[in-house]
Amino acid sequence: MRLSEQFAKTTKNVPADEVSRNAQLLIQAGFIYRGMAGVYAYLPLGLRVLENIKNIVRTEMNGLGAEELIMTSLQRQELWQETDRWDDEKVDVWFKSQLKNGTPVGFGWSHEEPIMAMLKSYIASYRDLPVAVYQFQTKLRNELRAKSGIMRGREFIMKDLYALSKDEKELQAFYDQVSDAYIRIFEKVGLGDATFLTYASGGAFTQFSHEFQVITDAGEDIIYVDRSKKIAVNKEVYNDEVLKQLDLSTDQLEEVKSAEVGNIFNFGSSKSKQLGVYYADHNGVEQPVYLSSYGLGVTRLMGVIAEFFADDKGLVWPENVAPALVYIARLGNQPEVVKQADELYIRLTDAAIQVLYDDRDIRPGEKFADADLLGIPHRIVISEKTVQRGTFEWKKRDTTEAQQVNAEQLAKSLGIDTQALL
Ligand code: ATP
Ligand code: MG
């Protein structure tokens, strides 16, 4: 990607209508565009980050044997009435509209009901279970406040997985597997140490649900963490009785602000009974299906990563999610400099490395500032000086000192074969 050809530009101006750091930085860096409060478009660089996160999540979901699909945004009133979740008194985030003939429709804010209704037509006997399906979908929610940038949108992308099991035991085994997969996801995006499996309020069926909370001041939740046990309790369920039950003691707990990036629920057989989803067991006896659901806020996670790693100069992406691994800053237009920078760009691209090539006619200081703002993990400078010395100037985003390195050292730090650079 040549920066001279990108329509999205960086800006030094902090957007006046944004109070959250993630939205300020992502807008300044040209990753997202604000349509209105809580509504953001993902521009090419932002989309790359989003796709990287989705692919990490997708790999883990596929590893569980879950099948990817995509449900509809438009929702039928009657279906949600069956579980008493249509009424605005019951669910306060609905966006609703109506068809030309006056039939009410809602916009999907979650998908348990439509998934159950859909799977009902495929499930008849124990042979059809268990089933796990998931999607990445834009959820629409009429949130009261939207001041946390992409961490709380009125339109946002969620990965939601739904599992239908034959009984409580089968459900629990899968629940634990998904929980482990979530932990791996947070490790892969660099948040392993900051993420805590958290006991939170449950649904109709179980006392607790489990949240995956990341410690950050940008979050809207308060949790109590036990760092040695690597678990936490959400303030909403925090009391003496719960602590006793979980074998936690107040002197081991630390109160912190956090952001909920994932939430997993055991619905038991409650939804199946409401929606009539039954299967015939080995004896031909009708049994209700057990439902568990597993949400993960993909765009919220991107916002949390942006906030968590940022410094005073801008974004700092972990390599696994960065929109590119390398930023090439070409200083000057001397033919030899242009030639070397172009060559490096082509060689790295051929070696399957994603590169942002700053080939613009602007001052070096502006290029360095943009490299920092965009948060690309490796910065390589090609200038008259490096051409004369026969070196590359290499710096990692999270270090201050640039180093002069040769092709071999550069290749090593990028994890590629030296041959690729020669
Ligand atoms: P919150 O308490 O933050 O409103 P929630 O309990 O409504 O979250 P769920 O309905 O369980 O969240 O949704 C699953 C995941 O989707 C959440 O863990 C979170 O990561 C994400 N999410 C929920 N609401 C939003 C939103 N408005 N914007 C961005 N992500 C969201
Ligand atoms: Mg909510």
pTM: 0.97
Closest ligand to C-alpha of residue 154 is 1
- Per the model's pLDDT, the better-predicted residue between 202 and 360 turns out to be 360
Token pair 């961490």 is at which residue? Answer: 151
Does ligand 1 lie within 6 Å of residue 157's CB atom? no
Question: Among residues of the chain, what percentage have pLDDT more than 70?
Answer: 100
Give the tens place of pLDDT for each residue, 236-253: 999 999 999 999 999 999
Indicate if ligand 1 lies below 6 Å from the C-beta of 330: no
CA of 109 to the centre of ligand 1 (A): 10
Mean pLDDT for 391-411 is 95
Long-range contacts, stretch 58-66, CB < 8 angstroms, 24+ apart: 58/136, 60/181, 60/182, 60/184, 60/185, 61/134, 61/159, 61/161, 61/181, 63/181, 64/132, 64/161, 64/174, 64/177, 64/178, 64/181, 65/132, 66/132, 66/133, 66/134, 66/161, 66/163
Task: Name residue 360's amino acid.
Answer: R
pLDDT for position 204: 66
Contacts (Cβ under 8 Å, ≥6 apart) of 291: 112, 116, 162, 163, 164, 165, 171, 267, 268, 269, 270, 271, 272
Q: pLDDT confidence of 205, banded at 50, 70, 90?
A: confident
Using 50, 70 and 90 to split pLDDT, how confident is the model at 206?
confident
Domain definitions of the chain by residue range: 3-73+108-222+257-309, 326-421
Is the Cβ atom of 359 under 6 angstroms away from ligand 1? no
pLDDT at 203 over 80: no
- Count each helix (H run) and each strand (E run) in the chain, helices first: 12, 21
For the record, the structure tokens of 148 come out as: 């946390």
pLDDT in tens, 16-48: 999 999 999 999 999 999 999 999 999 999 999
From 158, 182, 216, the mutation candidate for ligand 1 (largest count of ligand atoms within 8 A of CB) is 158
Domains 3-73+108-222+257-309 and 326-421 share a fold: no
Closest residue CA from atom 19 of ligand 1: 297
Task: Give, using CA atoms, the residue closest to atom 3 of ligand 1.
Answer: 260
Give dist(CA 401, CA 19) in Å, integer: 32
Q: Residue 63 corresponds to which amino acid?
A: G
Indicate whether 104 pLDDT > 90. yes
Residue 145 host element (H or E): none
Does residue 317's CB lie within 6 angstroms of at least one atom of ligand 1?
no
Superfamily of 326-421 according to CATH: Anticodon-binding domain (3.40.50.800)
* pLDDT at residue 202, rounded to an integer: 85
Half-sphere exposure for 198 (CA within 13 Å, toward CB): 32
Residue nearest to atom 12 of ligand 1 (CA): 263
- Closest residue (by CA) to atom 18 of ligand 1? 262
Q: How far, CA to CA in Å, does 372 sit from each of 20, 287, 369, 396?
A: 19, 58, 5, 10
What does the pLDDT look like over 367-399, one tens digit per residue?
999 999 999 999 999 999 999 999 999 999 999
| Residue whose CB lies within 8 A of the most ligand 1 atoms, among 263, 264, 302, for a mutation test | 263
Q: How do residues 341-351 score in pLDDT, each as one tens digit?
A: 999 999 999 99
Return the CATH number of 3-73+108-222+257-309, one of 3.90.1150.110, 3.30.930.10, 3.20.20.70, 3.30.565.10: 3.30.930.10
Q: Is residue 156 in contact with ligand 1, taking CB distance under 6 Å?
A: yes
Q: Which of 197, 216, 300, 302 to mutate to test the pocket of ligand 1 (most atoms within 8 A of CB)?
A: 300
Q: How far, in Å, from the CA of 45 to the mean position of ligand 1?
A: 24
Q: Which ligand is nearest to the CA of 158?
A: 1
How many whole angstroms from 220 Cα to the centroid of ligand 1? 11
Q: What is the mean pLDDT of residues 171-179?
A: 98
- What are the distances in angstroms from CA 257 to CA 8, 25, 385? 33, 21, 47
Distance 28 CA to ligand 2 centre (A): 27
Q: Which residue has the tokens 């990445």?
A: 136
The region of weakest confidence among 178-187, 265-274, 310-319 is: 265-274
Cα–Cα distance for residue pair 218/189, rounded to 1 Å: 18
Distances (CA, A) of 365 to 231, 315, 362, 381, 387: 45, 17, 8, 12, 19
- On the question of pLDDT at 422 being above 90, the answer is no
d(CA 67, CA 202) in angstroms, rounded, equals 26
Atom in ligand 1 nearest the alpha carbon of residue 151: 29
Residues of the chain with pLDDT > 90, as a percent, come to 98
